Amino acid sequence: MTSAPSGALTLRVRRPANGGSAIAHADDGRVVFVRGAIPGELVTANIVEDKSGFLVAEVTEVLEPSTHRRDPLCSAAAHGAGCCDLAHVSVEHARTLKTEILTDVLRRIGGG
């Protein structure tokens, strides 16, 4: 069940998630999938979805940027184009994040 989103959170982003988001934790312990963030960053993000077990938020301000952050090359990224989920990340670091995501998925599916 989804309730109406509300509020802004200040979050320390911890790790990458599939689909271009990154994972942080709210003060109440819930997982927050943060769109537009890079692991390691401190961000302010607005909640856009409040699900029963997690939140979805979008970055509104980067308080402590990653050294891997860059201006998106794709103008469609600002409009949420799915092909541009990591447009704000350097190409080299995007490859690293994708490897981390794949490794995590294979470990969970394969049980290793």
Q: What is the pTM of this model?
A: 0.85
Mind listing the pLDDT tens digit for each residue in 73-106?
777 766 666 678 888 999 999 999 999 999 999 9
Instruction: State the residue range of the domain holding 27.
Output: 8-110
Mind listing the pLDDT tens digit for each residue in 33-42?
999 999 999 9
Q: Decide if 69 is inside a domain.
A: yes
Q: Decide if 1 is inside a domain.
A: no
Domain count, the chain: 1
Q: Decide if 2 is inside a domain.
A: no
CA distances from 19 to 7, 27, 28, 42, 106 (A): 23, 24, 24, 20, 16
Q: Decide if 93 is inside a domain.
A: yes
Q: Give me the CATH number covering residue 78.
A: 2.40.50.140
User: Could you give the CA distance from residue 12 to residue 89 in angstroms, rounded to a whole number?
Assistant: 17
